[in-house]
Amino acid sequence: MTPAEAAREQTLGGLYAFIAYFLWGFLPLYFLVLAPSGPWEVVAWRIILSLAFCAILLTLTRSWGKLFAILKQRRLVVWTIVAGALIYVNWQVFLIATLTGHIVESSLGYFINPIVTVLLGVLVLRERLRATQWIALGFAAAAVLVIVIGYGAFPWIALTLAFTFGFYGLVKKQIGPSVDAVSGLTLESLWLAPIAIVQLVVVGITTGITMGQVSTGHTVLLLLAGVATATPLLFFAAGARRAPLTVIGLLQFVAPILQFVIGVWVNSEPMPLERWIGFGLVWVALIVLTTDSLLHARRQRAASLASTV
């Protein structure tokens, strides 16, 4: 690949990643217009329709062989089950937060996520942190304390979203390139399908299924839940393969920024002083972490160039 082709691929990767995070940022609006569907029903349809959408993609791309090859490897199957459990909790908490007026707290979770990823690197992968990364972790811990003490509420939604998505990313790292995005989402949805069916049965017995009961527009939007789930994930997978990690790291703030704006200015969620201070500390932590990552990447490139001279 020529330098021009490599640059084009990196640019394309950055564009794909931006589209993924942009779509994730607007997901709260999509789920809000699904009212009166509740979070348990929406997640159930999201799982089942994601499975159907992925099956169509596997058929169109003739990629069923890849999926069957994964099923022959017990280690990969176990990892996809773990990934499915983590993403289920993440989806369910995110939907509960979105449909009960806690979009701002869910955005806090995705702001904290990069810091959780660094923390997991230390605790699980035994990575060594630089001084600035420790400082960022300190600011994040202070933010949680401010929200708990000042705001008077434990940010369980934010921390659950941050840690489940952080562990989900860690599982994906363990799987590596052995499981492609479509096959991975197919298997994760497949393992969750029985849970989704049980949820739909319970919803049907209690509050009633809304699919096909509200309006044609509502039914169409609910049927698109699988597409809405899989599309940003596929864009992200395409972007992550092409764009440098530093670009992906910077772009990941697009989604929580959009979610924060939707929560505060569209959904009119409260933002008392204590919450602003908590968010401010998290943003300081992210600035420190991002600056450190960019400087470290620059030093590594300089060292690599020097070693080739």
> Who wins on pLDDT, 197 or 3?
197
Q: How far apart are CA 118 and CA 288, in angstroms?
A: 13
CA atoms within 13 A on the CB side of 217: 5
Range of lowest pLDDT (12-26, 47-61, 112-126): 112-126
CA 231 to chain centre: 13
Checking if the pLDDT of 184 tops 80, the result is yes
Nearest CA-CA partner of 229 in 79, 92, 53: 53
State the total domains in the chain.
1
Give the model confidence (pLDDT) of 119-157 as tens digits. 887 777 777 777 887 888 888 888 878 877 776 778 899
> Who wins on pLDDT, 237 or 281?
281
pTM (2 d.p.): 0.85
CA atoms within 13 A on the CB side of 294: 9
Specify the residue for token string 């993440």: 90
- Domain that residue 149 falls in: 3-308
Nearest CA-CA partner of 172 in 289, 64, 294, 90: 90
Residue type present at position 78: V
The two tokens of residue 69 are 């090859």
Following DSSP, what letter does each residue of 124-148 receive, concatenated? TS-PPPPHHHHHHHHHHHHHHHHII
Give the model confidence (pLDDT) of 154-178 as tens digits. 889 999 999 998 888 888 877 877 8
